[in-house]
Amino acid sequence: MRLRSPFRPFFISKSEFEPAYLALYRSGELEQRAQQAIQWLEQCTLCPRGCEADRPAGKTGVCQSERYARVSSFFPHLGEEDCLRGWEGSGTIFFTSCGLRCVFCQNYDISQEEAGTEVRPRQLAMMMLELQIAGCHNINLVTPGHMVPQILEALVIAVGQGLRLPLVYNTSGYDGPDSLRLLDGVVDIYLPDFKIWDADLARRYLRAADYPEVARQAIREMHRQVGDLKRDEDGLAKRGVLVRHLVMPGLIQETAAIMQFLAREISPNMYVNVMQQYYPAGKVDTSHFLEINRRLTGNEYQEALKVTRDAGVWRLDERQLSQQWVWD
């Protein structure tokens, strides 16, 4: 995995790298942001739903989340992209619930049903530190958009006790500007999905017609903050944006539109994982959403790769490409 001849524009040495949040911690701003964010929970508009729920008072909006974070699991994840998982794993913390309601969600029990355990700030901080002790290469916050205040609160504690790993913000792409402003100078690696381009399809499959525009604005802001993905001598991601796109059956036009946007309006050097693992899940069954009630074919995935390259996207995740299907 070692990069013997690193391509300098996309390279940062291990000796040069420092997690972004350390500077904010030293100045005291990280703690100030955490305090501000916790106050926002009293009239929560952190996600684009803008529910204005008083979460500390036990009122909830779409995400069904109250004052404290709920976590379903945390562990060294060996299934992420090679540049994140390395050889010891990506230190994932899976938060429960989600601001989207994707009908095909492959983690439906976590995202849309009651699950997980409530954790206080010190407990969340200890999870981060345990993952660091286990040898993980980063802290990977999964579905974190509605938990930004709780993450910042715990991060202050964890950094004070020695956390020094890159912070990965692993999101659906449905992130509001308030949350992203709080995270400026905190997150090292943004890992957004870009699922759907068309608003009508987003309304049908994600229950959020505004998703495409929200995702466009969010990815613009993420890239402004951290730029193109940079890796170290071992090929591990250290800073930048990595976009995931799940190719869906019969929707290659969505892939084409998304890739054209990324290459032409964000960066021609965007690092992208074109994902082939769609399968019917969640609410997709024989009686609902029949048009996506099947797996992707090999030919469809090859066409998705073609429209991606035609759009000018060239930094594709190597692991996906090495596992391409040969059947149809």
Are residues 89 and 77 in contact, defined by beta-carbon separation less than 8 angstroms? Answer: yes
Q: CA of 290: how far to CAs of 105, 141, 226, 275, 276, in Å?
A: 15, 33, 40, 21, 19
Cα–Cα distance measured from residue 321 to residue 301, given in angstroms and rounded to the nearest whole number: 10
Q: Which residue type does 128 have?
A: M
The three-state secondary structure class of 168 is: strand
Q: DSSP letter at 268?
A: T
Q: Could you tell me the residue ranges of all domains in the chain?
A: 16-322
In tens digits, the chain (328 residues) has pLDDT values of: 444 444 578 999 999 999 999 999 999 999 999 999 999 999 998 889 888 999 999 988 888 888 999 999 999 999 999 999 999 999 999 999 888 989 998 876 676 666 789 999 999 999 999 999 999 999 999 999 999 999 999 999 999 999 999 999 999 999 999 999 999 999 999 999 999 999 999 999 999 999 999 999 999 999 999 999 999 999 999 999 999 999 999 999 999 999 999 999 999 999 999 999 999 988 887 678 999 999 999 999 999 999 999 999 999 997 755 555 444 4
Report residue 114 CA to chain centroid gap. 21
Cα–Cα distance measured from residue 57 to residue 66, given in angstroms and rounded to the nearest whole number: 8
Query: Exposure string (b/e) for 104-126, b if CB count within 10 Å is 16 or more?
Result: bbebbebbbeebbeebebeebbb
Kindly state the helix (H) or strand (E) to which residue 252 belongs, with its residue range: helix 252-261
Cα–Cα distance measured from residue 202 to residue 207, given in angstroms and rounded to the nearest whole number: 6
Predicted pLDDT of residue 320: 58
Cα–Cα distance measured from residue 19 to residue 179, given in angstroms and rounded to the nearest whole number: 19
Region of residue 10 (phi > 0: left; psi between -120 and 50: alpha; otherwise: beta): alpha
Burial class (CB in 10 A: 0-12, 13-18, 19+), 11: middle
Are residues 202 and 211 in contact, defined by beta-carbon separation less than 8 angstroms? Answer: yes
Q: CA of 213: how far to CAs of 174, 196, 218, 240, 271, in Å?
A: 9, 10, 8, 21, 20
Predicted pLDDT of residue 3: 47
Report the 10 Å Cβ neighbour count for 4. Answer: 5
CATH code linked to domain 16-322: 3.20.20.70
How many residues in the chain? 328
Cα–Cα distance measured from residue 257 to residue 251, given in angstroms and rounded to the nearest whole number: 10
Are residues 240 and 228 in contact, defined by beta-carbon separation less than 8 angstroms? Answer: yes
